[in-house]
Chain A
């Protein structure tokens, strides 16, 4: 145990920081994109148009029953092919795993955010929607002015908790050789043969960040709780 050298971790910090920045970027963009797409999916699932509801339900169930790792690899191979089909290019464009990961996580997390938003929308009393219609609102107006603001507020802690899960799940992109936080650590750890120090440091950094974030979410939850 004597020959551990954590100095190597500090010397590599600028590189690790770049990786962490990528991870944070991926988390934030995937969370925003996922919530938007997920909300639309939730509205589709609750829609009275049967085929639309069925397609949305099927999508959500599909995404939720296969491992994220498989989804990541699916999109890595599919995205270039789809872009080729859409643009009509001769060959599939080269599309790095670091870029396809953004699309993957938006599409994957949308399924989970959809279930949260569906619960949020369903938690709003039916009378509120009817009140909106009585005021002459259209479907979109009553959704965006009456239902969704309340649903977001009620579900905010759960949405943020899911975002912390997303932040942790984002580490899986390192298996596609992307230089995220774990990927950056893996690369240097293997170069310097210092797996113990680097993986331990990664675990500690993740723990501190996630612990602090979930503590903040708990505080927020108490603060915004609606007294009923």
Chain B
């Protein structure tokens, strides 16, 4: 039953397992770049939303509402079709790009900004869960607001939010499949291609299912190790 993976669609084409492997590569690359964008922007927005300045809080809240209330698929279409159509400058830039690069960049930006909204919620609630006394202690030591965030609040907040951050990371990896809609040749795209070319849908989808489960389990184990290493002593999860 595994013969199929060692065949190719036609003479000279890569074997099916190689096609799936290349798709997996795109999936992981997209997820990695998008994660960096999401984590950076999400942390920034999360911090901004816990500050005193009401204007900054409102802008942060508006960002979250905007990106949470539009389906991911529609966001993909907006980035891929609407933006170049609205702005001639973007259109010119896109036309100069290789189509695959365009799809990859769109997928990274779209997933990154989408996930940033979710991570900012987690960072915000992580900071909110730290008692006010810690912030005051920082100020009492003469730290500036930025230093208090950097040395007191964020190191605690990140450790507290590791479990929800893990599930968000897994959501991000799963969401890369939606990039299939704009034609990015990631794992799901290759799976469908294999199914449609060979008519062996069960083989193709079965392989994809196994791969996605493996990714999810690996991500879980890695985050579990990190969680143990950085656990805060005295908290329920970090009883040491």
List the interface of chain A (C-beta within 8 A of B): 1, 62, 64-70, 73-74, 77, 168-169, 171-172, 174-175, 182, 195-196, 199-200, 202-203, 206-207, 210-211, 214
Instruction: List chain A residues, Cβ under 8 A from B212.
Output: 65-67, 70
List the interface of chain B (C-beta within 8 A of A): 65-66, 68-75, 77-78, 81-82, 85-88, 170, 174-178, 180-181, 188, 191-192, 195, 201-202, 205, 208-209, 212-213, 216-217
Flag if B74 contacts A195 (CB, 8 Å).
no
What DSSP secondary structure best describes chain B's contact surface?
Answer: helix
Flag if A66 contacts B74 (CB, 8 Å).
no
- List 13 A-B residue pairs with CB atoms under 8 Å apart, sorted by A's residue number: A1-B87, A66-B209, A66-B212, A67-B174, A67-B175, A68-B177, A77-B195, A175-B181, A196-B81, A199-B74, A202-B74, A206-B70, A210-B68
Contact partner, A200, options B78, B178, B201, B202, Cβ 8 Å: B78
Minimum CB–CB distance for A219 against chain B, Å? 15
Q: Which residue of B lies closest to A172 (CB)?
A: B73
Flag if B170 contacts A65 (CB, 8 Å).
yes
Docked Cα-Cα span, A207 to B212, in Å, equals 30
Flag if B177 contacts A70 (CB, 8 Å).
yes
Minimum CB–CB distance for A2 against chain B, Å? 11
Instruction: List chain A residues, Cβ under 8 A from B181.
Output: 175
Flag if B188 contacts A67 (CB, 8 Å).
yes
Docked Cα-Cα span, A169 to B74, in Å, equals 10
Flag if B70 contacts A207 (CB, 8 Å).
yes
Contact partner, A171, options B71, B88, B191, B201, Cβ 8 Å: B71
Minimum CB–CB distance for A94 against chain B, Å? 16
Flag if A199 contacts B78 (CB, 8 Å).
yes
Instruction: List chain B residues, Cβ under 8 A from A175.
Output: 73, 180-181
Flag if B69 contacts A214 (CB, 8 Å).
yes
Q: Which residue of B lies closest to A194 (CB)?
A: B85
- Whether A199 contacts B77 in the complex (CB less than 8 A), given A70-B177, A77-B201, comes out as yes
Instruction: List chain B residues, Cβ under 8 A from A211.
Output: 65, 69
